[in-house]
Amino acid sequence: METGMDTTNQAIAEIAHRHGLSPGAAETLYEALRRSGGGQAQFSHPDLGGMGQWSRGGMTQIGDMFNTALKARVDAACRDLAALAAEGGRFQRQVQGADDAAFDRDIQSGNTGPWWPGDLGAPSSSGAQNDMRYACFPDRRRLVIEKNGRVTVYDTGDHRLTGFSQQQSHGQDLAFSGPDGTVGIDRFRVVEG
């Protein structure tokens, strides 16, 4: 019969494998999340890009700041590990972040994997504000936005997105910047959702 610790260690190893991290890196993240109550992590591990931090409000920073693929993997792993901490009864609501509603929906529904279509892989960047979150996949020419629980996939065409902003108006309009200037969401074709 497995003990609770054996089950937790197995889950950490599975999360590490799923996100392409070493077991030691995932253990470092889990321990940081456990100590903070699951809402944030400060860590230092070479497989995680050195020193970094994560919060469920949508902030992820790693020392290897130009490695966007690693940053996305760290973010996804932290979400899974925070959910694992919640399942173990060690999760406490300590940090009120911009992405609380989406994060709570994921935990309640049991969805601990990525919220975007899995066939897109790891995003180059992702973030959240209020009840909206985005993930950008430039190699696939895709942008995924979840708003109020609804996921929509857009074809970005020839636009190379480098920045994101959200206008705090009635419609919570998203704007995207790139080498050719600012582009509104209405410039992208919906391909799913």
Burial class (CB in 10 A: 0-12, 13-18, 19+), 52: buried
Give residue-wise pLDDT tens across range 164-190.
666 555 555 677 777 777 888 888 999
Identify whether the C-beta of residue 153 lies closer than 8 Å to the C-beta of residue 192.
Answer: yes
Give residue-wise pLDDT tens across range 20-45.
899 999 999 998 888 777 788 889 99
pLDDT, position 32: 87
Among 168, 158, 123, 171, which residue's Cα sits nearest to residue 144? 123
